[in-house]
Chains A and B, each alone.
Chain A
Amino acid sequence: MTRRWSGLAAFLVAAPVLVGVAYSLFASVGLRGGSGGFSAEPWTAAFADHRLVIGLAWSLWVAAIATAIASLAAILVATLFRSGTRSSGVARFLAVVPLPLPHVAAGVLGVLVLGQSGLLARGAFLAGWIDQPAAMPALIYDRWGIGLILVLAWKEFPFIALIAFSLLAGRGKSLEEAARTLGAHRWAIFRTVTWPVLWRGLAPAVVAVFAFVTGTYEATVLLAPSDPLALPLMTIERYTDIGVASRAEAHVLVLMGLLAGLGAVVLHEAVRAWDRPSA
């Protein structure tokens, strides 16, 4: 395979997504999917429905908090367990073990542990904090999405941690040694070397996790409430509705989900551009 095929390879790998997005774009204005012709009705109907706006905001909230918790935990673990000692190696291994676990299995675990009569509630009963399952604060299907946030943060933490380990073991190590040789203290090294290396290196992965979590279906369907309804659940609900109008709205939601991810990428690029002169 030579370089003249690179264009064809790029086209083939991206084509199904582009075709899907193009279909959603046309279907969202009535030009595909059995509608009568061009119409902005699906867009106006979707935005007139306050549940959609709340659902989108709710999904962004869950994604932002889960990504923030996973990122901070990954930075903490990567910074504390970076040495070549045996215990640090064990800690780094333990941190990435949950990485290959499917999201469905993570969602099942969330229900078994955080549910109203789950293991956490049983522990609370034994500790004398609650006297019946109903007294346990709702951690799943709750309006704030606490259970979903915890499960997604736990599930995404290994991915970000893995990249943080790699960053600190590579470029970070040599820069820190140089700073130490020049007489910098531990805190000064962290502030001027470790943190910039970590945040610049982790930013693409954090953006990817945020975009992924915003649109993730598996854990959301198992742990999220029905009101507000999360964006991916609303999309599937409208897409599987027999009404043509609902399907067109589903395509509007698809495009909004993609725009949310694109917005995160644009924000990331803007922050990088702002940071570059001082780098």
Chain B
Amino acid sequence: MISMPTVARRGLLPILLLSAFMPLAILMLVSVGRDWFFPALLPGTIDLTGWRTVLGSGARLRPALIASGVLAVATGVAAMVFGAFAGSAIASARGWRRVVGAGAAFLPVAAPPVAVATGLHATLLGAGLGSSIVGVFIAHLVPACGYTTLYFLGVFTVREGGFEDAARTLGAGVLDVIRRVTIPMMRRELLEAVLLGAIVSWGQVALTLVAGGGRVRTLPLEVMDYLMAGQDQLAATGSLLLAIPPLIAFGVLRLALRNVEMVLP
């Protein structure tokens, strides 16, 4: 006789399989499907018109894709640098200082983007940076720095600083220690932090919408516009472009498993 848990496991496995791969398969199919009218389960024609429209020369999505890419890379790098310093500083603190530091790093992660965006936008307007790509970059940095600070807080909490101590004992200055010891030893962690910050920026909508004042167009905003205009094929193509980079980052560097360490302390 088969036990209840075994039956449940056999029933759940196909559901998990569908949950994992069906979404990408659907987006892929819609992105290449044409003449797909109700009630057909499959498109009448398969072609690459959607992809050409979205990525071809003079395509509307191209500047948005470039803007998203530039914002993601710049946010990732800046958030990595900030997070490394802030995370190491908070990790070195003890007692209530550490609790306050960790709580402060949680704040930009936990606060709803709409809430952060509205107050921040007014401040950016006052600084003459409202509705500009620099303003959007600063807005994206807020949650990204929260994530990378928490990430490095976890990393530096478990990391032994023996090599840095040895270098200092041998007479190395602060910059020498960072350049010759810390950076070479933490190359993987630094790269993962860049990716983490970049992913946070890559999917942002509310912050971009408010801080950019509708003038800064990024990939998620264009995807939403396509969908609202009923252009499902283009929306699916854009969604795939949105989904693929974070999925690759997840697969290659197993970012998600490290996020647990980052979120839990």
Contact with B along A113-126 (1 / 0, CB 8 A): 10001010111011
* In-complex Cβ contact of A236 among B94, B146, B209 (8 A): B209
A256 and chain B: residue at smallest CB distance: B115
Q: Which positions 86-108 of chain B face chain A at CB distance < 8 Å?
A: 86-90, 92-94, 97-98, 100-101, 103-105, 107-108
Residue count of chain A within 8 Å CB distance of chain B? 88
- Decide yes or no whether B203 CB sits under 8 A from chain A: yes
- Decide yes or no whether A266 CB sits under 8 A from chain B: no
Q: Are B41 and A254 in contact (CB under 8 A)?
A: no
Q: Which residues of B contact A20 (CB under 8 A)?
A: 111, 115-120, 123
* In-complex Cβ contact of A258 among B115, B138, B249 (8 A): B115
- Decide yes or no whether A175 CB sits under 8 A from chain B: no
Q: Which positions 133-188 of chain A face chain B at CB distance < 8 Å?
A: 133, 154, 157-158, 162-163, 166
Q: Which residues of B contact A108 (CB under 8 A)?
A: 27, 223, 227, 235-236, 239
Q: Are A80 and B8 in contact (CB under 8 A)?
A: yes
Q: Which residues of A contact B97 (CB under 8 A)?
A: 3, 6-7, 10
The dominant DSSP class at the B interface is helix
Most B CB within 10 A of own CB, among A98, A103, A208 = A98
A116 and chain B: residue at smallest CB distance: B38
Q: Are A16 and B108 in contact (CB under 8 A)?
A: yes
Contact with B along A1-26 (1 / 0, CB 8 A): 11101111111111011111111100
B18 and chain A: residue at smallest CB distance: A94
Q: Which residues of B contact A255 (CB under 8 A)?
A: 115
Cα-based distance from A103 to B23 in the complex (angstroms): 12
A-B contact pairs, 5 of them (CB 8 A): A104-B220, A105-B23, A112-B26, A123-B41, A204-B263
Lowest 9 CB-CB distances: which A-B pairs, in order?
A20-B119, A215-B112, A102-B203, A100-B246, A9-B86, A6-B93, A97-B20, A14-B104, A10-B104
